[in-house]
Amino acid sequence: MTRPQDQHITSRDNTFLKDLRRLSQDSTAYRKQGRFWVEGDHLCRAALTRGVQPAVGVFSESFWPLAPVEWAQAAIKNIVIPDGLFHDISGLESPASMGFVFDLPLNAALQPDAASVILDRVQDAGNVGSILRSASAFGFKQIIALKGTAALWSPKVLRAGMGAHWGLRLIEGVALPDLAALALPIVVTSSHRGDFLHQSLQNNALPMPCAWALGHEGQGVGAELEALARLHVRIAQPGGEESLNVAAAAAICLHASATASALR
C-alpha cells in the first residue's frame, strides 16, 4: 500500500509530530499553525462526506495495512507512525489509530441574512460543540463567536460537535460592533424577562430567520448584547430549577425556531 507520498516517521522529536501533538493537546494551537487535527472514524468520515479534503492523513503502523482505500487516498500526503507514538499524540482515552490534519478555513465574512447563533463568551468546549451540533440540525448555518468564547476548532469542540463543523459558517473573534452588519433580529433568552418561548411559538411571534444570542455559563448574555435584542423570551421550567445549561437551552430555542419556520 505504500506509495511515494507516504512517509514513515519513527522519531518522537520529528517536527511534524511535535506540531501534531500541539494540535491535539493545545486548544488554540490551530490558530498559530493554520491547521487543525481530527481523529477517528466519525469525524473523518463526516469531513469526506462533505467533500472536505485533508492535507495530511496520519495512521498507526498496525492500522495502516487495514485502512480503507478511501481513507488512504483522501489526503495529499500520508504519515505512518508507530502505535506508541500515535497513542502519545491522541487526545482520546481509546486512540482511534487514524486521523486527518486539515487546513484551517479562512475566517469567513459575516453573512447579514444567514440564520445565526451568537456565542457570547460561552467557555465550556463541550457546550460550544453541542450548540454547534444543534445549530446544524435546526438550520442555523452561521456561528458568530464573540471574543472570549471557547476556540471553535479546538479538539474538544470538534469532538463535541460530532461533525457539525463541516456544515457551518464559523466566524471567530467577533467584536460587539461587528454585529451591526446583521440584517436579522437578535433573540435573547432570559430567566426573568419576556414571554415564554412556547407562547411566542403559539402566537407566531418567533422571527425566522433570526440570530439567537447565547451567553456565558454563569453570567449569561452581556448587557450590551442584550440591549441589541429585538425579542426576549423565557423557557418555562415547571420543575423549578433556577436555570438551564446553555447547550440545553440552545437546543430548545433553536428547535422552536425551526418549528416556527416549518409551520409557516
Contact 201, 260 (CB under 8 A): yes
Determine, yes or no, domain membership for 78. Answer: yes
Residue predicted with more confidence, 261 or 181 = 181
Q: Are both 128 and 75 inside the same structural domain?
A: no
Pairing between β-strand 56-60 and β-strand 77-81 as defined by DSSP bridges: parallel
Total domain count, the chain: 2
* 69, 94: one domain: yes
pLDDT score for 108:
83
User: Could you read off the pLDDT of 223-245 as tens digits, one per residue?
Assistant: 999 999 999 999 988 887 767 89
Q: Are residues 39 and 164 in the same domain?
A: no
Same domain, 15 and 138: no
Identify whether 187 is part of a domain. Answer: yes
Domain boundary among 47, 80, 103: 103
Give CA–CA dist 199/206, Å, rounded: 9
pLDDT of residue 4 exceeding 60, the answer is: no
For residue 84, the Cα-to-chain-centroid distance in whole angstroms is 29
Q: What is the per-residue pLDDT for 261?
A: 85
Residue 137 domain-assigned (yes or no): yes
Cell matching residue 160: 463535541
Residues 6+ apart with CB under 8 A from 60: 80, 81, 82, 83, 86, 95, 97, 98
Residue 179 DSSP class: G
Residues 94 and 172 reside in one and the same domain:
no
Give the domain extent around 174.
116-263
Of 138, 149, 151, nearest in space to 208 by CA: 138
| 110 within a domain of the structure (yes/no) | no
What residue type is 79 in one-letter code? I
Higher pLDDT, 22 or 264: 22
- Do residues 211 and 137 both lie within one domain? yes
- 55 shares its domain with 134: no
Least confident of 43-47, 106-110, 184-188: 106-110
Residues 137/20, Cβ–Cβ less than 8 Å? no
pLDDT value at residue 63 = 95
Q: What is the CATH number of the domain that holds 17?
A: 3.30.1330.30
pLDDT of residue 5: 64
Indicate the residue among 40, 72, 103 that finishes a domain: 103
Indicate if 203 and 230 belong to the same structural domain: yes
- Asked whether residue 109 is domain-assigned, the answer is no
59, 80, 103 — which closes off a domain? 103
Among residues 139, 76, 66, 152, the alpha carbon closest in space to that of 108 is found at: 152
Of the pLDDT bands very low, low, confident and very high (cuts 50, 70, 90), residue 254 is very high
CA atoms within 13 A on the CB side of 96: 19
Q: pLDDT (tens digit, 9 = 90+) per residue, 168-226?
A: 999 999 999 999 999 999 999 876 778 899 999 888 989 889 999 999 888 889 999 99
| CA 145 distance to own-chain centroid | 10
Average pLDDT over all residues of the chain: 92
Average pLDDT score over residue span 143-157: 97
CATH of the domain at 190: 3.40.1280.10
Q: How far apart are CA 57 and CA 59, in angstroms?
A: 7
Q: How confident is the model at residue 1 (pLDDT cuts 50, 70, 90)?
A: very low
CB distance 131 to 246 below 8 Å:
yes
pLDDT above 70 coverage of the chain, percent: 97
* C-alpha–C-alpha distance, residues 1 and 6, integer Å: 9
